[in-house]
Structure 1
Protein backbone atom coordinates (compact mmCIF):
# COMPACT_ATOMS: atom_id res chain seq x y z
CA UNK A 1 0.00 0.00 0.00
CA UNK A 2 2.71 2.44 1.02
CA UNK A 3 4.79 1.62 -2.06
CA UNK A 4 1.87 2.35 -4.42
CA UNK A 5 1.21 5.64 -2.62
CA UNK A 6 4.86 6.66 -3.01
CA UNK A 7 4.89 5.88 -6.74
CA UNK A 8 1.62 7.76 -7.20
CA UNK A 9 2.97 10.72 -5.21
CA UNK A 10 6.17 10.80 -7.25
CA UNK A 11 4.17 10.76 -10.49
CA UNK A 12 1.98 13.57 -9.20
CA UNK A 13 5.05 15.59 -8.17
CA UNK A 14 6.65 15.07 -11.59
CA UNK A 15 3.49 16.18 -13.38
CA UNK A 16 3.22 19.18 -11.05
CA UNK A 17 6.82 20.24 -11.77
CA UNK A 18 6.29 19.80 -15.53
CA UNK A 19 3.10 21.88 -15.32
CA UNK A 20 4.95 24.68 -13.49
CA UNK A 21 7.73 24.62 -16.10
CA UNK A 22 5.17 24.69 -18.91
CA UNK A 23 3.27 27.54 -17.26
CA UNK A 24 6.50 29.54 -16.91
CA UNK A 25 7.42 28.95 -20.56
CA UNK A 26 3.90 29.95 -21.65
CA UNK A 27 4.12 33.15 -19.57
CA UNK A 28 7.54 33.99 -21.02
CA UNK A 29 6.20 33.45 -24.55
CA UNK A 30 3.23 35.72 -23.79
CA UNK A 31 5.58 38.42 -22.51
CA UNK A 32 7.83 38.14 -25.57
CA UNK A 33 4.83 38.20 -27.95
CA UNK A 34 3.40 41.14 -26.00
CA UNK A 35 6.66 43.07 -26.32
CA UNK A 36 6.82 42.37 -30.05
CA UNK A 37 3.21 43.50 -30.41
CA UNK A 38 3.94 46.81 -28.66
CA UNK A 39 6.90 47.53 -30.97
Structure 2
Protein backbone atom coordinates (compact mmCIF):
# COMPACT_ATOMS: atom_id res chain seq x y z
CA UNK A 1 0.00 0.00 0.00
CA UNK A 2 2.79 2.42 0.88
CA UNK A 3 4.47 2.07 -2.50
CA UNK A 4 1.15 2.56 -4.30
CA UNK A 5 0.33 5.66 -2.23
CA UNK A 6 3.71 7.14 -3.11
CA UNK A 7 3.39 6.27 -6.81
CA UNK A 8 -0.05 7.88 -7.00
CA UNK A 9 1.00 10.99 -5.05
CA UNK A 10 -1.49 10.41 -2.23
CA UNK A 11 0.90 11.06 0.67
CA UNK A 12 -1.23 13.96 2.00
CA UNK A 13 -3.89 11.56 3.30
CA UNK A 14 -3.55 10.42 6.93
CA UNK A 15 -3.11 6.77 6.02
CA UNK A 16 -2.24 5.67 9.55
CA UNK A 17 -5.70 6.79 10.68
CA UNK A 18 -7.26 4.91 7.78
CA UNK A 19 -5.34 1.78 8.73
CA UNK A 20 -6.40 2.16 12.37
CA UNK A 21 -10.05 2.16 11.27
CA UNK A 22 -9.72 -0.88 9.01
CA UNK A 23 -7.10 -3.19 10.52
CA UNK A 24 -7.70 -5.31 13.65
CA UNK A 25 -5.62 -4.03 16.59
CA UNK A 26 -3.46 -7.15 16.82
CA UNK A 27 -2.30 -6.65 13.22
CA UNK A 28 -2.06 -2.87 13.23
CA UNK A 29 1.61 -2.43 14.17
CA UNK A 30 2.76 -4.88 11.51
CA UNK A 31 0.63 -3.18 8.85
CA UNK A 32 1.85 0.31 9.77
CA UNK A 33 5.47 -0.89 9.57
CA UNK A 34 4.80 -2.45 6.17
CA UNK A 35 3.07 0.73 4.98
CA UNK A 36 6.02 2.89 6.03
CA UNK A 37 8.47 0.50 4.37
CA UNK A 38 6.49 0.78 1.15
CA UNK A 39 6.65 4.58 1.30
CA UNK A 40 10.44 4.37 1.52
CA UNK A 41 10.70 2.35 -1.69
- Asked if these proteins are the same fold (TM beyond 0.5), I'd say no
If the length of structure 1 is used for normalisation, what is the TM-score? Answer: 0.39
Bigger relative contact order, structure 1 or 2, given CA contacts below 8 A and separation 6+? 2
Question: Greater CA radius of gyration, 1 or 2?
Answer: 1
Higher share of residues assigned helix = 1
